[in-house]
């Protein structure tokens, strides 16, 4: 029996894993899908002070207070930053890191530092924010590759602004990023007819060619845990 901690990406909440969680639980595993401070059902706690360190501490506290060890720590998109920081600070509790179409930072980098085309590289996220600290969800026309109108509206109804300092604060490793922990990268290749989500190609290629990584691909839009939850769960179970 494994313990999975599923960490959602930007603008989302723990709610986005609700189609994956039953498959993992049906296989006998324990699953946690916490919501990061200031997002989802915790959006009432949003403030300018929330940063990447806040979200790393959110997940560290889950591991500590739930007394979790041998954790498979899964991060989607933005939360590649979060799980990297958690693993560095509590490597004894984490047995594997899974990056689901996620950013993979190096020491001293913020998410803004590693944005690549088509979404970034030179984009000033702070300038795009509201009131200087809240970043609105930018993909209203095609929410992260979801083609079902009903699902798209369901997601848009739950999306909340992202505290911009979570994307601007650099990550700093104190244990070298815990390189001994096995890592898996799941790259989501856009279905035919949709624009390619090339933002994560850079990280996928690095994971595919560097030692210490296991590499997989799925054909899906970026929110694969909602679009093809059975396939995502099957890879996690593997």
Condensed to tens digits (0 to 9), the pLDDT of residues 124-176 reads 666 666 788 999 887 766 677 888 899 999 999 999 999 999 999 999 999 99
Q: Which CATH number describes the domain made up of 3-237?
A: 3.40.50.1820
C-alpha to C-alpha distance for 221 and 190, rounded to whole angstroms: 5
For 59, the token pair is: 């997940």
Q: Is the peptide bond before 81 cis (omega within 30 degrees of 0)?
A: no
Backbone CA torsion sign across 207, 208, 214, 218 = positive
Beta bridge partners, 7, equal 75
Helix (H) / strand (E) element for 56: namely helix 52-65
Q: What is the pLDDT of residue 116?
A: 66
Taking the whole predicted model, whether its pTM rises above 0.75 is answered as: yes
As a whole number of angstroms, the distance between CA 75 and CA 51 comes to 17
From the list 196, 189, 223, the residue with the least C-alpha distance to 10 is 223
Alpha carbon distance 37, 51 (integer Å):
9
Strand 30-32 and strand 71-76: the pairing is: unpaired
Q: Is residue 177 within 8 Å of 87, Cβ to Cβ?
A: yes
Neighbours of 129 (CB within 10 A): 20
Render each residue's pLDDT in the chain as its tens digit; 238 residues.
Answer: 899 999 999 999 999 999 999 999 999 999 999 999 999 999 999 999 999 999 999 999 999 999 999 999 999 999 999 999 999 999 999 999 999 999 999 999 999 888 865 455 556 666 666 788 999 887 766 677 888 899 999 999 999 999 999 999 999 999 999 999 999 999 998 876 555 556 788 899 999 999 999 999 999 999 999 999 999 999 999 8
Residue pair 46/161 in contact by the 8 Å Cβ criterion: yes
pLDDT given for residue 190 in this prediction: 82
User: How far is residue 187's CA from residue 202's CA, in Å, rounded to a whole number?
Assistant: 10
Break the chain into its structural domains and give their ranges: 3-237
For residues 46-65, one letter each, b for 16 or more C-beta atoms within 10 angstroms of the residue's C-beta and e for the rest, the string is beeebbbebbbbbbbebbee
User: For residue 161, what is the DSSP state?
Assistant: P
Supply the DSSP symbol for 192: T
Gap between the Cα atoms of 191 and 173, Å rounded: 36
Measured in whole angstroms, the distance separating CA 96 from the mean position of its chain's CA atoms is: 15
User: Which sequence positions are flagged as catalytic?
Assistant: 77
């Amino acid at each position: 029996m494994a313990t999975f901690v599923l960490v959602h990406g930007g603008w989302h909440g723990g709610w986005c894993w609700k189609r994956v969680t039953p498959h993992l639980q049906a296989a006998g595993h324990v699953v946690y899908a916490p919501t990061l401070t200031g997002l989802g059902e915790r959006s009432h706690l949003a403030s300018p002070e929330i940063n990447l360190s806040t979200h790393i501490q959110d997940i560290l506290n889950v591991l500590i207070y739930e007394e979790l060890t041998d954790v498979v720590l899964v991060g989607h998109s933005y939360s590649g930053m979060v799980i990297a920081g958690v693993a560095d600070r509590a490597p004894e509790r984490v047995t594997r890191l899974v990056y689901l179409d996620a950013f993979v930072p190096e020491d001293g980098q913020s998410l803004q530092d590693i944005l690549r085309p088509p979404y970034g590289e030179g984009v000033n996220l702070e300038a795009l924010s509201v009131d200087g600290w809240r970043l609105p969800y930018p993909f209203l026309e095609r929410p992260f590759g979801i083609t079902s109108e009903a699902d798209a509206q369901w997601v848009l109804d739950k999306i909340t602004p992202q505290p911009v300092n979570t994307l601007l604060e650099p990550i700093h490793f104190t244990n070298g990023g815990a390189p001994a922990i096995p890592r898996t990268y799941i790259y989501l290749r856009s279905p035919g007819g949709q624009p390619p989500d090339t933002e994560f190609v850079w990280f996928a290629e690095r994971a595919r060619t560097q030692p210490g990584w296991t590499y997989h691909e799925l054909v899906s839009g970026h929110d694969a845990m909602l679009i093809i939850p059975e396939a995502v769960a099957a890879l996690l179970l593997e």
